[in-house]
Structure 1
Amino acid sequence: MEPHRWNHEAGFGQTAVDTVKEMPTVVTQRLGSVLTMKTREVCRSCNNGWMSQLERQVKPLVLSLMDAAVRGWSIGILPDEAARLSTWAVKTAWMQALSAGTTVGHSDSYHYLRQRLLPPPDCKVWLGRHAGELDFNIKQMAVQVRRSDRPWDDGDIRNVLWTCLTFRSLSFLVYTVDGWGVPPPTRDSNRWRPVWPQSMSIRFPARFDVSDQDVLSAVALQAPALHTPDLPVFERDPDGTQYRRRN
C-alpha cells in the first residue's frame, strides 16, 4: 500500500468585538509519509546546504536518545548538543508550519536561525520520553496574541507557535514567538526536560514518561497570563468538516 498522511486543520478567531467564529475544519489526505514532507518556501541552496548539514549532525544524537529511551538508560546531553537539537527542532517545526500555510513569524526570526544556527530569542524547547500509540506524529497550534488592554483588532500582534514532534520514543516540544511581551511558558520538568535555553549538561529522560494525552495537552494554550476572549457570541462553521485529497 502506498504511504500517505493526513493533515487536520481547525480553529477559531475573533471576528467582532463580541463574536468568536469557528474556522473551517479541513482534513487533507496526501500521498507520501510524514518523513517526506516538502515545503516550497525554502531555496535549494539552503535545503541542500546548512539544513542538510544540520540534519546530518543531529541524526546520531536523536538515534542515541531514542536508544536510551527504549532501553531505559540515563544519558547526558551536553550544552552544544542541546543547542543543535533545539535548532533542528525549531527548524522542523517551522517547516511543518510553512508546508501547511501557517504564519510562524517575521523574516528576522528566519535570518537569526540561519545565520547563528541557534533558536531565536524567546524560543523554548523541551524533550520527553514518549510512551504511547503515536508514532511519527506532529501536533501544532498557531495563535495570534494581543494585549487585553487594547482593542480586539489592534494590529500589534505576536505569532505564537506550539509544535510537538513525536518520533516513536521521543517527543520534542517547541515554542516560538516572533516578538517581546508574551509571558514565557513553562512545562512540568518531571515529564519535559528543558533543552533550550540551556547552559549546562542535563540528564535524559525525565522522571515520568510523556503519554499521548501529554502530547495533546502540551500544544494547548496553558498559561495563566494568556486567555481566550470571553465573548457571548460563538458562530459555528455552517459547512462542517471538509475532506480533501491531494497528490
Structure 2
Amino acid sequence: MFCGAQGRLTDEHTFGDWLRKLGYSGAGLREIGDPPIVQNAGPFSHKLKIVCANCNNGWMSRLEQDAKPLLVHLFRAHGRLIPIEEDAQITLARWAYKTAVVCAYSDKNQVDAFPEEHRREFYETDQPPRQTWVRIGMMTVPSDPLKGEHLAAYQFDSGVDTVTADEETSIDVPWYRTTIRLINVVFCVMGSVTDEIKMKEQPDKVFRTMTQPLWPVRRPTIWWPPIASQPLQF
C-alpha cells in the first residue's frame, strides 16, 4: 500500500490496538464502509491485511509510538488549551495521513481513494505529500443508547475541479478529502492530484475557525482546541 513491495502482507489495525489497551474499548457495534456494514466488535479491533511486515513493524509502528502520547494528551485535555509545537504538528500530520489511507481500505469502494503517487511520496519522504493539507479540530464524543459511545469515525469525499491555469488553459484536478475522528480529536486530510499547477488550500471562514493547520506547518506553536464559532459537525 505504501512501499509497493511484492510479497506476504500482514495485518494492520485501522486504529491502533494501543487504544484498546488504554481502555477505549468495550463491546458494541462497528460500522465499516458506505453504506455501512455493521459488525459486533470493539472499535479498535478491526484489522486489514494490507501492508508488508517491513512497513508494519518498522516506520508505521514507530509513527504510532510517536503519535500515541500526543493523542492521549489531547484525549485528556478536559477543556484545557493544549500547545502543539512544530515537531508535534508534523508527527500528528504524518499520523493523520497514514491513518486516512489505512481507513480508506476498510471500504472496498475506496481502495483507490488515495492515488499511488501520493502514497509512494509519503513513504519515500516521511512527510505528507505535496499538494496535501492536514488540519486538526475537536468535537465531543457522540453517544447512542443502543450502540454506546462512538469512539472513532471516518468519512471520505472526492471529486474533480476545473482550474484555470491561465487565460487559455483549464486543467481538471482530482481531489480527495478525508475526515477522521478519534475520541474527541478530528483530523481533516485534503489533497489535490496534479503536477501541472500548484494548488492552494482555501478553507472557508467557518472551517478556519473550527480547525487549526497542521500541515504544511505555518506557526511554531498552535493551540488546541481551536476557537470555533459553532460545533464541528462530522
TM exceeding 0.5: yes
Judged with a 3 Å threshold, the aligned counterparts in structure 2 of structure 1 residues 146 and 163 are, in CA distance, closer, same or farther, namely: closer
Q: Which moved more, 1:173-182 or 1:79-88?
A: 173-182
3-state SS of paired residue (1:36): coil
Cα distance 1:163–1:209, how it changes in 2: closer, same or farther (>3 A)?
Answer: farther
Bigger CA radius of gyration: 1
In the alignment, is the contact (CA less than 8 A) between 2:178 and 2:189 conserved in 1? yes
Contact 2:134/2:190 (8 A) holds in 1: yes
| TM-score computed with the length of structure 2 as normaliser | 0.70
Partner residue, 1:215: 233
Provide closer, same or farther for how the CA distance between residues 122 and 35 of structure 1 changes in structure 2, counting only shifts above 3 A.
same
Q: In structure 2, do the counterparts of structure 1 residues 121 and 2 end up closer, same or farther at CA, with 3 Å as the change threshold?
A: same
Separation (CA, whole Å) in 1 of partners of 2:54 and 2:27: 30
2:21 pairs with 1:6: no
Deviation at 1:3, TM superposition (A): 4.3
Structure 1 partner of 2:99:
92
2:51 to 42, 53, 56: 42
Task: Give the conservation status (yes or no) of the 8 Å contact 1:130–1:210.
Answer: no
SS in 2 for 1:198: coil
Q: In the alignment, what sits opposite 2:203?
A: 186
Of residues 204, 225, 230, the one that matches 2:224 is 204
Instruction: Identify the residue that residue 60 of structure 2 maps to in structure 1.
Output: 51
Is the 8 Å Cα contact of residues 105 and 159 (structure 1) preserved in structure 2?
Answer: no
Deviation at 1:120, TM superposition (A): 0.3
Mapped partners of 2:129, 2:31: distance in 1 = 30
Distance 1:35 1:111, change over 3 A: same
Unaligned runs of 5+ residues in structure 1 are 10-25, 150-155, 217-247
**Map of 1:78-117 to 2, 5 A cutoff?**
78-101=85-108, 102=110, 103-117=112-126
Q: Which has the higher contact order (CA 8 A, sep 6+)?
A: 1
Answering whether residue 138 of structure 2 is matched by residue 129 of structure 1, we say yes
What SS class does the counterpart of residue 40 from structure 1 fall into? strand
The answer to whether 1:30 aligns with 2:39 is yes
Distance in structure 2 (CA, Å) of the matches to 1:78 and 1:215: 26
Q: Tell me the TM-score normalised to structure 1 length.
A: 0.67
- The verdict on how the C-alpha distance between 1:2 and 1:133 changes in structure 2, with shifts beyond 3 A counting, is closer
Listed as ranges, the gaps of 5+ residues in structure 2 are: 1-25, 144-149, 165-170
Matched residue type, 1:195: L
- How far the C-alpha of 1:66 sits from its partner, in A, is 2.0
Counterpart in the other structure of 1:77 = 84
Deviation at 1:146, TM superposition (A): 4.8
Q: Contact conserved, 2:157 with 2:176, CA < 8 A, in 1?
A: yes
Native 8 Å contact 1:104 1:160 kept in 2: no
Q: Is the 8 Å Cα contact of residues 33 and 107 (structure 2) preserved in structure 1?
A: no
Code of the aligned partner of 1:145: V
Question: CA RMSD of the aligned region, Å?
Answer: 2.6
Task: Check conservation: 2:163, 2:172, Cα contact below 8 A.
Answer: no
